[in-house]
Structure 1
Amino acid sequence: MEIKIICHRCKQKFSASTTSEIIICPQCRTVIPNRTPRKQSPPSGGDYGSSIPSLIGNLLKKLCHALKPATAPALSSFVYPKSCGLDNVGALGNKRAVLCGVSYKKWKYKLKGTINDVFNMRDLLIRYYEYRDENMLILTEEQPDARLIPTKANIESSLKWLVKDCRSGDSLVFYYSGHGLRQPDFEGDEIDGFDETICPVDFLKEGMIVDNDIYATIVQPLTEGVRLHAIVDACHSGTILDLEHYYDNNEQQWKDNKPPSGARKQTSGGKAYCISACEDDQVAADTT
């Protein structure tokens, strides 16, 4: 059975199944909750995977149960705020997010869907997990605030902001949609011999951000009681956080990823989870 839907963002009219928990607009990719009444048993064991878009996959369902769901009013079209979390002078909220979408719009290798991805993730966090705009940094090339253009320096500063003064009970999210590459590992801490990287908009001039630096910035500082969920939609992103274990989806088991060099790749007592678009030796496709 199908229902008629009108997207609250782009006003596109389309049909969707009444059995779908989440509906995604085919025009602007906005996430829309299906509020049609239907008989079903509630999820068991605190599994909130049914409210996650299917594109994130089964692994996200298993890992994101730590985020408490909530309901929020319908979201209107987004307007970039005049101020952002960088302007907060008081205590930061216990739910913070850095959402980064790089489109490389001036280059031949531009991406079409990254900004849509960022706003879909923003809507998801606000609508279901009680995050607030003032405790988010949204980095895109469309930002009027120069501090929020996804340059290497700005991404690095935003990641430091994300974990600043983190304490027990904090829930942190890092979302990245953009290009990812690999480069030879010269420190002996990669099993496959390559460092994974993300590519800021100015990476040709300023360089890429390597997994070692991402780990040192947002994983190692996590203290007990702090949770970080990173979702990285990029090529070669399998071990982009340099975590000591990864989940093999084919064999359905956790595997060891400890550095051959013996370097410590742990948190300071907190929990870090990473959901990646593909394995280290794979590429991911761009969609609108």
Structure 2
Amino acid sequence: MGSRREWCSGCGLQLLVPTDATAVRCVVCQAITRFPYPPPPAAPFVYGGSSYCSRPPPPLSPLASAFGRKRAVLCGINYYGKPYRLKGSINDVKCMNYFLLNKMGFPPDSVLLLSEEETNPLKTPTKRNIRLALKWLVEGCQAGDSLVFHFSGHGTTEPDYDDDEVDGNDEALCPLDYETEGFIIDDEINGTIVRPLPYGAKLHGIIDACHSGTVLDLPFVCRMNSWLCKVKYREGYYIWEDQTPREIYKGTSGGLAVCFSACDDHQLSEDTTAFTGSKVMTGAMTYNFIQAVQNEPGLTYGRLLNCMRNAIRESKSSGGLRLNGPIASILNKLVFTSNNSSGEPQLSSSEKFDIYSTKFIL
């Protein structure tokens, strides 16, 4: 059965529907649209209101093809005007956008970039827009698809109220308007982009934020060079640590979800100029992720993780990697005087696999 693209009569989102469908329910606003659906009368678009433009707003991105699609959501938030402002997050998503388009073969119309520099109100990284973007990311996903969610900004932790976290805390991302609208917690992220992932599809999360180790709520975390590895195996080996304290399923619907995070759940990440050799700020993990993949085609997940960790360790040991911003003096003291706070990139997954034989492919 074929498919076609139609517009939701409620929110204007582009929907993929079967060719012979006469009605469809929107995955975002739950409105039912019946076909044929005539274009609405001319009227100015009112964001967040009931009015809409003479034709539906431009789609977040048209679907690239029927099979083997690449699609990405990139969110960069500097929190302009706030005392906790960052300086490298928007640079991060610009770099990631260039990397995906020019190095990884993502079609230009399949990458949705949300940042404070966007003039389109639908593309600012508010909580509502990030939620819509994540739902769009997996809409119509099928075998062969490659999805990417990249976030650069602040992360935090919240008390866990449903008893599904081994450390008693949910991890969360901080959207632009989190002070009024709240955080986006890992339970929601998992339910939105991990659980629906079908067999044969792959999702990569690349999260450059504090407290981001398990922010996709994936069940397995790769522990490298841990005490248990040293005892049971030898230096340089790894184990997959199960992060589900009881019988709660956090996996996919058959696909594979993998996440690279800037640091563990209890750690902080860095916003730095150490790697660019200039005044240009970037996230330490985002920069080294891109550099490693570009410099060594065909590398494995284990090799990629080690490349990022080694580069950050070398920069820390040389004194080049420091936190920046209004609260830099406080955070630098925390990060560089406490072993528990100093962040290193982490790897988590919806299933166990051999990180040293499995090639990294976007």
1:256 Cα shift? 2.6
1:258 Cα shift? 3.7
1:126 Cα shift? 1.3
Give the match's secondary structure for 2:211: coil
1:218 counterpart (168, 183, 193):
193
Question: 1:34-75 deviations in whole A, cap 9, x for unaligned?
Answer: xxxxxxxxxxxxxxxxxxxxxxxxxxxxxxxxxxxxxxxxxx
* 1:104 and 1:111 in contact (8 A); partners too: yes
* 1:246 and 1:257 in contact (8 A); partners too: yes
Show structure 2 runs of 5+ residues with no match: 1-56, 227-236, 273-280, 282-362
Distance 1:87 1:192 in 2: 38
Aligned to 1:273: 258
* 1:239 and 1:279 in contact (8 A); partners too: yes
| RMSD of aligned alpha carbons | 1.7
Seen in structure 2, the aligned counterparts of structure 1 residues 127 and 185 have a Cα distance that, compared at 3 Å, is same
Aligned to 1:192: 167
Give the match's secondary structure for 1:86: coil
Percent of pairs with identical residues:
47
* 2:143 and 2:200 in contact (8 A); partners too: yes
1:230 counterpart (205, 208, 220):
205
Distance 2:206 2:59 in 1: 20
Identify the range of structure 1 (83-92 vs 184-193) with the bigger mean alpha-carbon deviation: 83-92
Matched, 1:114 2:89: yes
1:84 Cα shift? 6.0
Distance 1:205 1:91 in 2: 38
Distance 1:127 1:188 in 2: 43
Aligned to 1:88: 62
1:234-273 maps to which residues of 2 (within 5 A)? 234-251=209-226, 252-273=237-258
* 2:194 and 2:252 in contact (8 A); partners too: yes
Aligned to 1:286: 271
Distance 1:153 1:259 in 2: 28
Question: 1:76-119 deviations in whole A, cap 9, x for unaligned?
Answer: xxxxxxx8652538867710000000110021111000111001
Paired amino acid for 1:86: L
Give the alignment's TM-score, normalised by structure 2.
0.55
Distance 1:281 1:194 in 2: 10
Distance 2:136 2:80 in 1: 26
Distance 2:97 2:76 in 1: 11
* 2:115 and 2:123 in contact (8 A); partners too: yes
Paired amino acid for 1:88: P
* 2:63 and 2:110 in contact (8 A); partners too: no
Seen in structure 2, the aligned counterparts of structure 1 residues 136 and 84 have a Cα distance that, compared at 3 Å, is farther
Distance 1:254 1:112 in 2: 35
Paired amino acid for 1:274: C
* 1:173 and 1:229 in contact (8 A); partners too: yes
Distance 1:156 1:253 in 2: 34
Paired amino acid for 2:99: L
Distance 2:59 2:208 in 1: 23
Distance 1:171 1:157 in 2: 19
Say which one has the larger Rg.
2
Seen in structure 2, the aligned counterparts of structure 1 residues 278 and 87 have a Cα distance that, compared at 3 Å, is closer
* 1:243 and 1:257 in contact (8 A); partners too: no
Question: 1:157-212 deviations in whole A, cap 9, x for unaligned?
Answer: 00000000100110000000000000110111000110000000000000000000
1:257 Cα shift? 2.8
1:132-147 maps to which residues of 2 (within 5 A)? 132-147=107-122
